Amino acid sequence: MFAHVDINNFYASCQRLFRPELEGKIIVVLSNNDGCVIARSDEAKALGIKMGDAEFQVRDLLNKNGAYIFSSNYALYADMSARMMNNLARYTYMLMVYSIDECFMAIDHMPGVDLEEYIANMRDAVVQNTGLPITIGVGKTASLAKFANRAAKRARKKYMVLDTMDKVDAIINDFDIEDLWGVGFSYYKKLTAAGIMTAGDFRRQEPGWVQKQMTIQGLRLWRELWGEQCHVLNDLFERSKAICSSKSFNTYQTELCYLEEAIATYTATVASKLRVQESMALNINVFLRTNKHRKDHDQYYPSITLKLPFSSNSTAELTKVALQALRAIYTPGYYYMKGGVTAIGIVPAGEVQYDVFTEYQGERQTELSGLMDKINARYGKGTLRVAIEGYKKHWIMKQDYLSPNYTTRWQDIIKPI
């Protein structure tokens, strides 16, 4: 049996948590660069604000209705997320963090326990300890747990336990196909065109047809809806397979020197994430993008993947290769709006791939990176950095509505009035 837990309107709920006077008020949280809406309180949803709406297009509507607008504050969200996960972890022997606001938990092997009661208690504890509103779905497979969670939200319940297939059958024909986990925009179009409107309709299809239309993943979803387990919970501490840092620029960039600053800065982030999870990368991908919304601009989306001479997580080594990649794809004459760096081919830090033709400097680099991490942890991110990351960083993103870091900076802790 699986439980799927998620936090309702997560980013908006985090902002409200430290501003209780915003209870019942319209709240939206904007993406990096304050570009578009990525989280909404129920009141904002009721107003008709959609996920992904551009800020400048809904600005008037928000202001007219007295909405509270926030820039994304990932330091705050990451910390609140960790608090919830830690609370939940006490209720299971295995928990898989699925995203910043969701996880799956194994809740089997508990003979004699009343599941409804167990889930209700677990929810109360998390709400009490973190202040975050959560919803819980329980089912025989991960897909059914997700299904139960969604159904709970639809029914305005705090949790829903679908521990028998009878309970699934009772609601599956009222469940819209687009709400199914694994059905996105193009499958939605394909399925509704074939007359499949509900999860029940989908489950009645021939498995061969499902696989042909939606690959093996669609077939897995189909099986899971029948109660056959296909998704296994991964180990919580598994290394990720790719680590990416990418961001839009504040203004269009045309000069190589500023793109170098940005790419070097993103590379430093990637290298530091690699070190945190004790991994090294074998390949680095660098990409640039122009603004696809500007029909009057020439479009250019270059991307290149380069091999490192040997696996590394050193900021200096990775930066050297990332800049080489950037110079290979950079073409003057375009208005670049975004760039990014991805580490791929990730291996455990111990397994070094030596190269016959290149002198190995791994130990020195590891020592240097460790020292940088220590200094930056003590004096703040970016205190010690590679020179090419730049000093002014005039391309850096806009965050006009940033809230305090209530839980991660001493200066920002709320004081009694």
Residues 6+ apart with CB under 8 A from 112: none
Residues 6+ apart with CB under 8 A from 5: 84, 88, 102, 103, 104, 105, 126, 134, 135, 136, 149
Give the other-Cβ count within 10 Å of 417's Cβ: 3
* Binding residues among 259-298 for DNA as defined by CB under 7 A: 269, 273, 291, 293-294
Interface mask toward DNA for 135-174; x: CB under 7 A: -----------x----------------------------
Q: In DSSP terms, which residues pair with 139 in a beta bridge?
A: 2
Does 411 help bind DNA (rule: CB under 7 A)? no
Does 240 help bind DNA (rule: CB under 7 A)? yes
What tokens does 124 get? 């109360």
Does 394 help bind DNA (rule: CB under 7 A)? no
Least distance in Å: CB of 95 to DNA? Answer: 16
Least distance in Å: CB of 182 to DNA? Answer: 5
> Please, are residues 318 and 363 in contact by the beta-carbon 8 Å criterion?
no
Smaller CB separation from DNA, 76 or 337:
337
Smaller CB separation from DNA, 263 or 372:
263
Does 388 help bind DNA (rule: CB under 7 A)? no
> Please, are residues 312 and 320 in contact by the beta-carbon 8 Å criterion?
no
* Binding residues among 47-76 for DNA as defined by CB under 7 A: 51-52, 54-56
Smaller CB separation from DNA, 218 or 390:
218
Does 38 help bind DNA (rule: CB under 7 A)? yes
Least distance in Å: CB of 19 to DNA? Answer: 22
Distance CA 134, CA 6 (A): 6
Does 32 help bind DNA (rule: CB under 7 A)? yes
Does 209 help bind DNA (rule: CB under 7 A)? no
Nearest to 5 by CA among 140, 101, 71: 101
Query: What CA dihedral angle connects 376, 276, 314 and 408, to 10 degrees?
Result: -20
Nearest to 23 by CA among 37, 10, 49, 42: 42
Does 207 help bind DNA (rule: CB under 7 A)? no
Does 342 help bind DNA (rule: CB under 7 A)? yes
Does 188 help bind DNA (rule: CB under 7 A)? yes
Give, in order, the Cα–Cα distances in Å from 137 to each of 118, 219, 225, 233, 322: 12, 22, 14, 16, 43
Which residue type does 197 have? M
| Region binding DNA by CB under 7 A among candidate stretches 88-96, 107-115, 177-185, 351-359 | 177-185
Q: Which residues bind DNA (CB under 7 A)?
A: 6, 31-33, 35-36, 38, 51-52, 54-56, 98-99, 101-102, 146, 180-188, 215-217, 240-248, 252, 269, 273, 291, 293-294, 305, 337-338, 340, 342, 397
